[in-house]
Amino acid sequence: MGVVNVTGLRKSYGSVDALNGLSFAIERGELFGFLGPNGAGKTSTIRILTGQIEPDAGEVRVLDTDPAAEPIETRRRVGILPEQGSPPSFLTPREYLEFVGEVRDLDPDHVAERTDLWAERLGFRSKLDTLTTDLSRGQQQKVMIAQAFVHEPDVVFIDEPLANLDPLVQEQVKEFLVAYAAEDNAVFVSTHDIDVAEEICTRVGIVADGQLVAERSLEGVTEPSLLELFLDRVTEEDARGLPAGPAV
Ligand SMILES: Nc1ncnc2c1ncn2[C@@H]1O[C@H](COP(=O)(O)OP(=O)(O)OP(=O)(O)O)[C@@H](O)[C@H]1O
């Protein structure tokens, strides 16, 4: 039994079928890459697994919680790094992380210690007391990474983890994610970056048109390459994020 279990997940927005019977499971110790083209259903999946939206059908368990029935409990227990998320503009990074610690019922001394650690690790110590509205997009992303991990969750959901980060910080974040998963945690990373998935993930699920179209371990397996598998399973229409139409 995994820490994340998804069976037959379906979600439509009006006439758009975003998820069409998606199933997968993630175990502790895995850095699971959820790889798919634009519009494949990655963000919808994360939003369902973290109790932000409800599925139309299917079974979901995250750390023994049902995100649709008990979204607050699910969100208390997991870490979430949303795509395009940014910290509240009227707080400094330090105030924001203190706030996150309060909401999560953490010891303030522990939060202060973690804040220093993250600021040091990601290089935003000099910005800890600057309003986040005055930070660059990449600096805001660093603060968002810190908030996702400040309570040391057993499961973390991350949408495009490296967006807006400079190459040096990208390397640090990749190393951190690998190490964090190896400490018996589960890390779910949604991305359309095949190289990053191949580099850091222990296992990858390829999603297209709201379904898992391929799944493979990356531990000790090099053939076919992830790119070959992706090109084999994802159609040109999927890859463009467009509905399939008649050939012209
Ligand atoms: N609130 C919404 N209303 C209507 N359609 C939506 C909504 N959210 C998502 N969709 C549609 O559902 C499908 C899946 O979207 P989703 O954002 O989950 O994909 P994604 O894989 O995260 O894409 P990307 O890589 O471009 O971020 C797309 O066709 C999208 O247009």
Cis peptide before 71 (omega within 30 of 0): no
ipTM of the complex: 0.97
Task: Spell out where 148-244 has E strands.
Answer: 155-159, 186-191, 203-208, 211-217
Q: What is the pLDDT of residues 191-243, one digit of tens each?
A: 888 889 999 999 999 999 999 999 988 887 777 788 888 888 887 666 655 44
- Choosing from 11, 15, 16 the residue with most ligand 1 atoms within 8 A of its CB, the one to mutate for a pocket test is 16
Given the CA of residue 192, which atom of ligand 1 is nearest to it? 25
Of the ranges 1-5, 45-49, 55-59, 110-114, which one carries the lowest mean pLDDT score?
1-5
Residue 237 pLDDT: 63
Give me the mean pLDDT over the 86-104 stretch: 94
C-alpha of residue 40 to centroid of ligand 1, in Å: 7
Residues within 6 Å of ligand 1 by CB? 13, 16, 18, 36, 38-44, 192
Q: Where are the domains of the chain?
A: 4-239
- Choosing from 13, 189, 209, 211 the residue with most ligand 1 atoms within 8 A of its CB, the one to mutate for a pocket test is 13
C-alpha of residue 142 to centroid of ligand 1, in Å: 25
Q: What is the pLDDT of residues 26-56, one digit of tens each?
A: 999 999 999 998 889 999 999 999 999 999 9
pTM (two decimals) = 0.90
Q: Is the pLDDT of residue 184 over 60?
A: yes
**Greater pLDDT, 248 or 172:** 172
The CATH T-level fold of domain 4-239 is Rossmann fold (3.40.50)
- Residue whose Cα lies nearest atom 5 of ligand 1: it is 13
Paired tokens of 176 = 């951190």
**Greater pLDDT, 1 or 32:** 32
Distance (Å) of CA 200 to CA 78, 169, 207, 218, 224: 21, 15, 18, 9, 17
Average pLDDT value for the chain: 90
Give me the mean pLDDT over the 172-201 stretch: 92
